[in-house]
Amino acid sequence: MRRFLFLLGLRWLPVGLMIPVLVLLPMERGLSIAQIGVAASMQGIVVLLLELPTGGLSDAIGRRPVLLLAGLLNLGSLAVLTVADTVPLLMLVYLLQGVFRALDSGPLEAWYVDRALADDPDADIETGLSRSGVVLGVAISGGALLGGAVVAVSSLLAPVLLAIGFGVANLVAIMVLLTEERSARGMAALIASAKGVPAAIGGALRLARRNRVLAALIAVELFWGFGMPTFETLMPVRLSGVLAGPDAAAALMGPVGAGGWAASAVGAALVPLLIKKIGTRWTGFALRIAQGLTIVGMAVLAGPAGIIAAYLFCYAMHGAANPVHAALLHRQVDGPHRAGVLSLNSMMSQPGFAIGIVTLTAIAAGAGTAAAMAVGAVVLALAAPLYLVHGGVSAGGGNGYDARRSALTPGGQTC
């Protein structure tokens, strides 16, 4: 587990670095919030198209080569961002990010869960996944704090350059620490394994079609994805509107983003207590409603203090909801199709995100950022009842979700 948590932290620390500048850097270069939204939608479209094939690729040829390819594409995206000052260049940034995200979503988590269940079929992956939520939150929090500090003493470009350095370190760590047992090697084995990709994709789709619980969990991502731009994209713009401008907002977004992901880590750490009280499904329901309310708070509260407080609570709910959703998902699927189902789940957030970021940035440009946040909050909260869906066939036998297990305290999981 320690290798998994280290790799996870190194993967997400650069994401924190980008929080203060990802929207404000293009704005400083003359692009409007609506133009940035259109460019960012490219990521969602690309992930939608590639999520299932790349998930099947991970199941077929292994987690390690897919993660290495993803890391290289991430470095390419960051390199283009250093010079992106037009809409086409920014679209290229998000296109490369889309391919990176499609490749990256699932393999590391699937590697951990496969190893944990191979060692112990009854392993408590829920607690492990909540611990990974803590590590993820701490890593992004530290990155955001570092990014804000770098902006304060340098420029909006400096965090991007630093993120490139951490991306190189992540590639080296994957090569050294992520080991897999594969009987066949070489190009012939790679080609033979790649032929299994369509079967892996078909298997993931069949599991979702047969299992009502799994289908409902995947549908949650559609609403969740629509609402995510409220706190990922619009928050710096909202803060900029009550401060002296983009530079002041970027400097403050470093510690604010760090605080948000620290709150996310706390939320993930407290998940086992909440699950013990009300069960996994009701925990997912309550957290989704609560997150929607916090986004409304970000929209309606006046002044930076109120907006920041709502933002911190939003991320606490976000950090708690992620491991709950992941645990419910993993209980519906076994190893051979795990990465494919994770990709199917992630894929559903992408059309939601693409539609959400175009819609919400357009609303922000016309009616204001607060109105856009309120709309996103309502749509995100609409996913809550989907956690209460019962029934369905377990997608893979022995490790399938059992309603009796919903009251378990997660104990050993990683996100």
Exposure string for 129-145, b = 16+ CB within 10 A, e = fewer: bbbbbbbbbbbbbbbbb
pLDDT at 407 over 50: no
Residue 219: exposed, middle, or buried by beta-carbon count in 10 A (0-12, 13-18, 19+)?
middle
Which conformational region is residue 348 in: left (phi greater than 0), alpha (psi within -120 to 50 degrees), or beta?
Answer: alpha
Residue 392 vs residue 415, higher pLDDT:
392
User: What pLDDT shows up at residue 405?
Assistant: 28
pLDDT of residue 396: 41
pLDDT at 170 > cutoff 90 = yes
pLDDT tens-digit map of 8-61: 999 999 998 888 788 889 988 999 888 998 898 888 788 777 876 776 677 677
| Cα-to-chain-centroid distance, residue 137 | 11
The angle subtended at Cα 23 by Cα 20 and Cα 28, nearest 5°, is 95
How far is 352 from 48, CA to CA, in rounded Å? 10
Among 67, 98, 65, which Cα is nearest to 80's? 98
Task: Provide DSSP, 283-343.
Answer: HHHHHHHHHHHHHHHHHH--HHHHHHHHHHHHHHHHHHHHHHHHHHHHTTB-GGGHHHHHH
Measure the CA–CA gap between 176 and 181, rounded to whole angstroms.
14
Which residues face 333 on adjacent strands? 395
Name the percent of the chain in helix, strand, coil, to the closest 5: 80, 0, 20
CA angle 201, 206, 211 (to 5 degrees): 130
Q: What are phi and psi of 333, to 5 degrees?
A: -145, 150
How far apart are the C-alpha atoms of 264 and 314, rounded to whole Å? 8
Percentage of residues in the chain with pLDDT exceeding 70? 80
Q: Assign 145 a pLDDT band (cuts: 50, 70, 90).
A: confident
d(C-alpha 302, C-alpha 362), whole Å: 22
Domains of the chain: 2-407 (1.20.1250.20)
Per-residue pLDDT at 100: 93
Greater model confidence, 252 or 93: 93
Contact 15, 146 (CB under 8 A): no
Write 152-161 long-range contacts (CB < 8 A, 24+): 152/251, 152/254, 156/20, 156/21, 156/24, 156/25, 156/28, 156/247, 156/250, 157/21, 157/25, 157/82, 159/17, 159/18, 159/20, 159/21, 160/17, 160/18, 160/21, 160/25, 160/78, 160/81, 160/82, 161/82
Q: What is the CB-side half-sphere exposure of residue 52 using CA atoms within 13 A?
A: 15
pLDDT band at 105 (very low <50, low <70, confident <90, very high): confident
Q: Do 28 and 246 meet the contact criterion of CB atoms below 8 Å apart?
A: yes
Mean pLDDT of all residues belonging to the chain: 80
Q: Smallest Cα–Cα separation from 8: which of 149, 143, 121?
A: 143
Distance CA 260, CA 304 (A): 14
**pLDDT value of position 271:** 84
Say if residue 187 is exposed, middle or buried (CB neighbours under 10 Å; 0-12, 13-18, 19+).
Answer: exposed
In single-letter form, the type of residue at position 52 comes to L
Note the pLDDT of residue 274: 85
Q: What is the dihedral of CA 351, 356, 362, 365, to 10 degrees?
A: -140
